[in-house]
Amino acid sequence: MAKKRPSFSLKQPPAAEPPKASVPLPSLPVNAGETPGRAPSAEPSPPAPGVAPLKTDQPPAPAAAKSGSPAEPQPVRQVQSPAAAEPTELAPSAEPAVSAPAAPVPKETPVFGSSLAAVWPEPKPGPPPKPKSSTVETPPGASHSDLPKAAVSSMPQSAIDHPQFESLLTSAAAAPRLPAPESLTPASAPLPKPEPPDAQAVSEEKAVRDLPKLIDTEEKELEPPPVAAPPPPPPKPTIPPMFIVMITPEMAPVAKVGGLGDVVYGLSRELELRGNAVEIILPKYDCMRYDQISGLTRTYDNLEVPWYGGVISTSVWFGFVHGRKCFFIEPHARDNFFHRGVYYGQNDDVVRFAFFCRAALEFMWKTGKHPDIIHCHDWQTALVPVLLYEMYQRLGMRHPRVCFTVHNFRHQGVTGEHILRATGLHRPEYFFHYDRMRDNHNPHALNLMKAGIVFSNFVTTVSPCHAWEAKDAGQGHGLEPTLHTHQYKFGGVLNGVDYEVFNPETDPHIPAHYSAQTIEGKYENKRALRHRFWLADNERPIVAFIGRLDQQKGLELIRHSIFFSVNNRAQFVLLGNSPEPGTNDHFLGLKRHLNDNPHCHLEIAYNEELARLIYAGADMMVVPSRYEPCGLTQLISLRYGTVPVVRNVGGLADTVFDKDYSNRPLHERNGYVFDHADNPGLESALRRAIGCYYHFPDHFRHLMLNGLRCDYSWNHPGQHYLNIYDHIRDK
């Protein structure tokens, strides 16, 4: 008996029709050593009534030989009859078995042996076949009903009902046959002279012999010709070079209060690296860092700028700031607009910067500058698009298009009607319209930032998340309806960091240079930072804060982070000041209170060189902002391998991804994030960061490396701005 396989078989095919009545054909001959009509394997049980037997071409297992019996000749392998075949087995499955399709039948005329058994099943035992006297000739197109009764006497009904039976008969009838000899030639008689072979038979025999070659040749002809390598994709259309003028109140490093100065310098440098001509126009503050300007010369000595019906004589200076071309506007007015020792914070800031806008356009018009793009920054330059389209286009400046970037929606330049008279916009009834310059809350006031949004060709803010917050989450400070009205030309472009300026591998302000491959140098900077601020020399992590001290940055959370860090086995370093004297006084008092603490130092000032040392030497940087349009502190921290601890808001949410809760891949997680602007939220993030530093130093090291490998350079933002410029230039 053959070894039984697992009982997982195919379904039986659906019930077939009852067999048709037919005349039985004579039995087929069997091979020596076989019992006529019986397979070598054990006899299976007959199929159920009304169910067609399962057809398969699986050969049966050979019968076991009896011990001691003489060896019998091995029978020729034959395919078992469908009625006696063992069910075909598949992989075990709990599902009901699926029926297998019938074995394909060859189209050629079957030859005796296995091919014949594959087409016609083995007959059941019956009387021995009668000798045939001659070959039965069946004309082409004949059916089994045309055969003699003796020829179909024992043929099983399944063979007659086979779908290929008629075609096989037709093929057999059409095959060439040799004539039957009339008598046998005796062995002693001389052999007759061979007749020349029939030409048709020879050609057919040759055709059969050459059939494999013919098939191989046809297959080769049918094969498709080798496909040549596809041509390289066409290069992306490059944006033609443009002439871009930046009009801004700040630019690092000569005039910097916050991140605006870094953005202007970094973006200008990136645009120049991409082949564009960039010029920057700034006020000439008396408190600028003139040591950072090379080749400062007066290029326009007597520029007369219209103002309140008269003119103000103005000088224009030119110089290079680290390779950037800069023009500085210096008005000679009794009000000393930009000679006050400060950049902002004056009661007449609106008047000062309104004059700056008019003077910048007057300078470009009189010197014949026709830039493709004028890029304005914040409310201080928001009057530029208004003056351009209401006044200077009529004077011939029809070519420039304006991109207006809002860095902070909190400061909007709300003022009165007098600013229209000062700048020469003499139609107050036209501008005091809800769709133009009128403030959304005070119908008797003008809003300069709103004017910039309405009159510009495109408006951006400094991160995608903050763009959504300003338009839909109540952080537009009253400008939400205006942003919804102009949402078709409003979007967020994430700020970048100048990776040439902020580079731990080349920074001249840090004692030890390092990179992701040589991060050990960061620990040398940590020791230098401790030595600079007289902190205790131990293994505590250093938590730092760098930035402006105001309500936007979360003053209460900054103060709480100092005490929480010191009380939880960490050290704290603060570098920053406030434009409000009261805030400075509060933190100066806090500094005196903590003066004797060996784990804390507060520096109520701002110094760029000291900031670089803190970025390089601190382990964590806390940024607990109540709202943050973009934020550069966390980007610079990542560049120096310092782990940021930030609130999930604005640009912080676009750049810092929590180690424990982010759904980003592990290599993109680079800090700790908390949601609510309260003490418990801040404590949770700081506790996790300090705990990881102590208990999982390898994980903390990976966070540092992830930050060093981030790419928040100006490469991507620069391309985005070029796309915007190209879009509005064609309008």
Residue 106 lies in a domain: no
Residue 530 lies in a domain: yes
Q: What is the mean pLDDT of residues 189-208?
A: 57
Q: Is the pLDDT of residue 397 over 90?
A: yes
Residue 143 lies in a domain: no
Q: Are residues 443 and 545 in the same domain?
A: no
Note the pLDDT tens digit of each residue in 46-56: 444 444 444 44
Q: Are residues 604 and 480 in the same domain?
A: no
Percent of the chain whose pLDDT exceeds 70? 67
Angle between helix 697-709 and helix 679-695 axes, rounded to 10 deg: 110
Total residues belonging to the chain: 731
Least confident of 98-102, 116-120, 231-235, 314-318: 116-120
Hey, what are 77's tokens? 């392998």
Residue 616 is part of which domain span?
A: 521-712
Q: Are residues 469 and 609 in the same domain?
A: no
Q: Are residues 470 and 527 in the same domain?
A: no
Write down the mean pLDDT value for the chain: 80
Q: Are residues 428 and 287 in the same domain?
A: yes
Domain count, the chain: 2
Chain centre distance of CA 307: 52
Q: Is the pLDDT of residue 679 over 50?
A: yes
Confidence of residue 202 (pLDDT cuts 50, 70, 90): low
In this predicted structure, what is the pLDDT of residue 33? 44
| pTM exceeding the 0.75 threshold for the entire prediction | no
Of 437, 456, 320, nearest to 378 by C-alpha is 456
In this predicted structure, what is the pLDDT of residue 215? 53
Hey, what are 24's tokens? 């039985």
Q: Are residues 526 and 425 in the same domain?
A: no
Q: How far is Cα 126 from Cα 137, in angstroms, rounded to an integer? A: 25
Residue 325 lies in a domain: yes
Confidence of residue 559 (pLDDT cuts 50, 70, 90): very high
Q: Is the pLDDT of residue 250 over 70?
A: yes
Provide the 3-class DSSP secondary structure of residue 177. coil
Hey, what are 402's tokens? 């304006």
The 3-state DSSP composition of the chain as helix, strand, coil percent (nearest 5) reads 35, 15, 50
Q: What is the mean pLDDT of residues 424-436?
A: 93
Q: Is the pLDDT of residue 690 over 70?
A: yes
CATH number of the domain at 435, please: 3.40.50.2000
Q: Is the pLDDT of residue 283 over 50?
A: yes
Note the pLDDT tens digit of each residue in 485-542: 999 999 999 999 999 989 999 999 999 999 999 999 999 999 999 999 999 988 999 9
Q: Are residues 439 and 482 in the same domain?
A: yes
In this predicted structure, what is the pLDDT of residue 429? 93
Q: Are residues 484 and 534 in the same domain?
A: no
Chain centre distance of CA 343: 42
Provide the 3-class DSSP secondary structure of residue 487. helix
In this predicted structure, what is the pLDDT of residue 118? 39
Q: Are residues 284 and 347 in the same domain?
A: yes
In this predicted structure, what is the pLDDT of residue 43? 45
Note the pLDDT tens digit of each residue in 19-57: 444 444 444 444 444 444 444 444 444 444 444 444 444
Residue 192 lies in a domain: no
Q: Are residues 305 and 436 in the same domain?
A: yes
In this predicted structure, what is the pLDDT of residue 92? 41
Q: Are residues 585 and 483 in the same domain?
A: no
Hey, what are 302's tokens? 């007597």
Q: Are residues 453 and 536 in the same domain?
A: no
Which residues are within 8 A (CB) of 16 and not within 5 positions of it... i.e. 6 or more apart? Answer: 50, 51, 52
Confidence of residue 252 (pLDDT cuts 50, 70, 90): very high
The residue out of 451, 472, 492 marking a domain boundary is 492
User: How many other CB atoms are there within 10 angstroms of residue 721's CB atom?
Assistant: 23
705 neighbors 519 (Cβ within 8 angstroms)? yes
In this predicted structure, what is the pLDDT of residue 581? 87
Residue 364 lies in a domain: yes
| DSSP state letters, 353-372 | HHHHHHHHHHHHHHTT---S
Residue 259 lies in a domain: yes
Hey, what are 407's tokens? 């860095």
In this predicted structure, what is the pLDDT of residue 171? 58
Residue 197 lies in a domain: no
User: How many other CB atoms are there within 10 angstroms of residue 610's CB atom?
Assistant: 18
Confidence of residue 606 (pLDDT cuts 50, 70, 90): confident
